[in-house]
Amino acid sequence: MDLVRAQSRTAPLSEDSLFDFSDNAREAAERREEAAEKREFERRAAQALDTLPEDERETIVHHLYAGLTFREIAEMRDAPLGTVTSWYQRGIARLRARLKAE
């Protein structure tokens, strides 16, 4: 059974498969390109995020990545709700500007 599984993972490589531009091959190439573009954007976004002031950066991370509400972040940071939303809005605006400038 292990031999069958191992053989099914490896597809024989032929000259025809190298230059196969069928719909499936084209779609697979497009998916790889989209994945590469997404990874590059995520890298650039992470670099831009690192340049933000701590309050803005932490608010964005807690809200977008940890899924916390602004009220939860305000309680956790012992800050007014309006201040937390300002940190978020300013931080997002700065991120957009930095990513657009690149």
Q: State the Cα–Cα distance between residues 36 and 68, nearest whole angstrom.
A: 29
Instruction: For residue range 29-72, list pLDDT tens digits in order.
Output: 788 888 888 898 889 889 999 999 999 999 999 999 899 999 99
**Amino acid at the residue 93:** A
pTM of the model: 0.67
Q: Does domain 14-101 have CATH number 3.90.190.20?
A: no
In the chain, % of residues over pLDDT 90: 50
Sole residue written with tokens 């602004």: 70
In 3D, which of 95, 51, 91 has the Cα closest to residue 83?
Answer: 91
Q: Does residue 92 carry a pLDDT above 80?
A: yes
The tokens describing 86, both together, are: 């300002």
3-state secondary structure of 37: helix
Would you say 99 and 43 are in contact if contact means Cβ atoms under 8 Å apart? no
Instruction: Specify the higher pLDDT residue, 66 or 13.
Output: 66
Residue 17 sits at the vertex; the CA angle it makes with 6 and 19, to the nearest 5 degrees, is 150
Model pLDDT, residue 35: 87
3-state secondary structure of 48: helix
The tokens describing 102, both together, are: 């690149």
Q: Does residue 81 carry a pLDDT above 60?
A: yes
Contact partners, residue 58, CB within 8 Å, separation at least 6: 77
